[in-house]
Structure 1
């Protein structure tokens, strides 16, 4: 059965009011129950309650027919709303193409040819290869009416564009294939050899990273590379790759204004790569560039990227020694109702970490207490790694608050659920870390002893500071602070400092 509840829940208050008016205008009979059904769904009434209110005689056939009619109306409403809100340049050009085709059918040939030539120039400027393919097909179809251009030249442009379109389609295929694989790794804990899988798919689809790129294609490549780095924790080569390709596009003078959405995404990936490599000054520079591009086109994409921007900006500030300013950046969005659930979860986790590092444990606990969902739900929304980090923060937080019985229960639960997965992905050091955590709160008298410190130092196989993951270092900073009797935040900054 179609899940109407999910569709209706996604409507804003204004959308619901507008949809009711839409139904009122469409209804030709007064006894139509579609508005009543919609309002009941909006109030999240159960199926039994809805049946009782609409069909007291339990007419299930009538109820299901009503649901189908309401679903059809919802589809029409959503489609019309999407078309009304769509104002991308490519969509505007598609409307111009349709108009040109209409002019041809009306035998207004001169107007049609001029309009089509204008549309072609605009589409070529933004590298809309799919749209250009349709434009060239239309121009070839009516080439017998145009004496201003030899057919051979038109066919040459058509074939050149077809090659570029083919490259874009191949990249879309490898992108879709790898994204599906990555989602299984991130959200379901599947263990695979990512670099090998990426190389195999690029070879299979004949994709070369040396091919000419657009902001869109670089965004797709960057998303794949960023996801692989996220899973493998190898961000060191990522910023070099992204910067090289980004500079290549800028040198080729591709019109960035025409691909603002993808331009913002790329700048975010570059900034995130610098952050994960602990080059916070560079991360902040590219975040400033990202914010500047977000202001373009009357801030059209500002809301779509605001949470991602603020979360990364706050983290970069925090690890640059500005925790107060970092929290000021996050506070307005921690509990605000937003559509981007995954990024808001990132904001909550970032805020918890910052509060924890500042020993504001009660404030961190307050945020944690508002995350009501199960770990299974959270894994679906934010991924396995996010849940693991949340659980680790939760365990350390309750140690600081001296809720020892709760800590023991959480440790048992964590190890039962994630020990096998962590071993599969080669992250046994998380389990080693938790073993030392248990000693910290059960045997606090040994934590500063030379024997314990030596045991900790010999237990971990660390990467060099440049290559080590910043969040892994942040958790270890808590343990090191305990061993040294030092401040958590100060110890964290000393560990990540590359100067």
Structure 2
């Protein structure tokens, strides 16, 4: 899939309509075909020839590529505007508070300035916005001399505590990036197996990271992801299960979880997946149901981002709880969809193949297997290798070769 197709496929129904309205307001000419192109891509049309014939009646490649580039630019503008209005509404509000407070200080309206900074501090703490808190404390300290009632030492203590939390968040972000990078390397060369538990501990010590309740929602999400990666690499899902669930309970208590809906859904998926691997299918379904509830919230904002992963894990749970026909039906409905990420599509094909085989539907299994034609290396690049770390990858093993990938 091209970048533009990936972006459009991630839009919710509400976002699709908003983007069309955005284009209608932006278009100065009636003959602009950007909306028509958007709708064609939305329907899964990807053939240059087919799109050109629909839009122009002939193969006008240059006009099509120019139009496609303009549509891509409009998509970027639309997403950026939405993020400024939605995701960063709290951040923007607090920046306005700081600017207003500084103006009050300039005009010697000191009490009003501190009152608005106190309000900004409470909100920033609630959402653990460490960068904005730094600006708030910087301003408070700078003008502490203006009011005798201000205890500058208390502000300095809060400022230094915020610095520690901010540094912790940044260090954990570095650890997260390092471990994800190593995982990518291992996926491409399974012979260079690394002990992820030792690796994670080493990197944690290197960056002086310790787990505490003051960690932000994003930091705890990254921590859960790191632990999940370690469990996947070492096949030790049982050992991390309680940690993941207990950490999630800490996240549930944080008021910022509504603001970080994407991370919330992702964490629920990681927990549900871990429970599935531990053969705790009812518990896995419980967290999948929570995941689905959050996918539907905020006008299904992130529904398309997680839809196929959710349905795949749902089908796998059904397959192992005596609901094999439902599992097969779930995947059969989506297997022909064109807007699925390659890795997820491969997993869907492999799972359905397994369901057919287990359910003695050998003809369907054979038909699906016959569509596998890519090389081993291609699949390793796309999906990595999930195997016992003590054994080298067997080139003679059955390797998926799926048509259209």
**Within 5 Å, which residues of 2 pair with 1:422-433?**
425-427=389-391
The Cα of 1:18 is off from its aligned counterpart by 8.0
User: Hey, what's the Cα distance between the residues in 1 that align with 2:304 and 2:380?
Assistant: 25
In structure 2, relative to structure 1, the CA distance for the partners of 1:78 and 1:315 (3 Å cut) is same
Conservation of the 8 A alpha-carbon contact between 1:235 and 1:277: yes
Return the offset for 1:433: 10
| Counterpart for residue 352 of structure 2 | 351
Determine the structure 1 residue equivalent to 2:152. Answer: 151
2:271–2:287 contact (8 Å) kept in structure 1: yes
Q: CA deviation at 1:258?
A: 3.8
Aligned counterpart, 1:278: 279
Distance apart, 1:266 and its partner CA: 2.3
TM-score (ref. length: structure 1) = 0.61
Query: CA separation in 1, counterparts of 2:308 and 2:391?
Result: 30
The alpha-carbon deviation at position 337 of structure 1 amounts to 2.6
**Where do 1:121-132 residues align within 5 Å?**
121-132=122-133
- Closer, same or farther in 2 for the Cα pair 1:54/1:263, shift >3 Å? closer
Q: How far 1:167 moved relative to its partner? A: 0.9
Distance 2:288 2:102 in 1: 50
For structure 2, the residue ranges without an aligned partner over 5 or more in a row are: 10-15, 41-45, 50-58, 399-405
- The aligned counterpart of 2:81 is 83
CA gap of 1:313–1:207, structure 2 versus 1, over 3 A, is same
Question: What is residue 238 of structure 2 aligned with on the other side?
Answer: 236
CA separation of 1:151/1:9 partners in 2, compared to 1, >3 Å: closer, same or farther? same
RMSD over aligned Cα atoms: 4.4
**Cα distance change of structure 1 residues 6 and 321 upon mapping to structure 2, 3 Å threshold:** closer
What is the CA–CA distance in structure 1 between the aligned matches of 2:70 and 2:150, rounded to whole Å?
Answer: 47
Distance 1:278 1:75, change over 3 A: same
Question: Mapping of 1:211-226 within 5 angstroms?
Answer: 212-226=214-228
Q: Which residue is 1:100 aligned to?
A: 97
- State the Cα distance separating 1:301 from its structure 2 match: 2.8
Tell me, which stretches of 5 or more residues in structure 1 are unaligned? Answer: 28-33, 46-51, 56-65, 389-421, 438-499
1:244-259 aligned at under 5 Å gives the runs 244-249=246-251, 253-255=253-255, 256-259=257-260
Secondary structure in structure 2 of the residue aligned to 1:161: helix
Q: Quick check: 1:187–1:382 contact (8 Å CA) kept in 2?
A: no
Displacement of 1:350 in angstroms is: 1.5
Partner of 1:311: 312
Do 1:334 and 1:344's aligned partners in 2 also have CA atoms closer than 8 Å? yes
Does the CA contact (< 8 Å) of 2:98 and 2:136 recur in 1? no
CA contact (8 A) 1:103 1:111 kept: no
Q: Distance in 1 between matches of 2:251 and 2:3?
A: 39
Aligned residues: 372
Q: Which has the higher contact order (CA 8 A, sep 6+)?
A: 2
What is the CA-CA distance between 1:227 and the residue it aligns to?
Answer: 1.6
Tell me, in whole angstroms, the C-alpha distance in 2 between the residues paired with 1:148 and 1:368: 77
Q: Is the 8 A contact 2:101 2:116 kept in 1?
A: no
User: Could you state the TM-score of these two structures normalised by the residue count of structure 2?
Assistant: 0.73
Residue 378 and residue 114 in structure 1: after superposition, are their counterparts in 2 closer, same or farther (change >3 A)?
Answer: farther
Alpha-carbon distance between aligned partners in 1 of 2:394 and 2:47, rounded to the nearest angstrom:
45
Alpha-carbon distance change, 318 to 19 in structure 1, aligned in 2, over 3 angstroms = same
CA shift for structure 1 position 176: 0.7
SS at match of 2:237: coil
Q: Distance in 2 between matches of 1:379 and 1:280?
A: 29
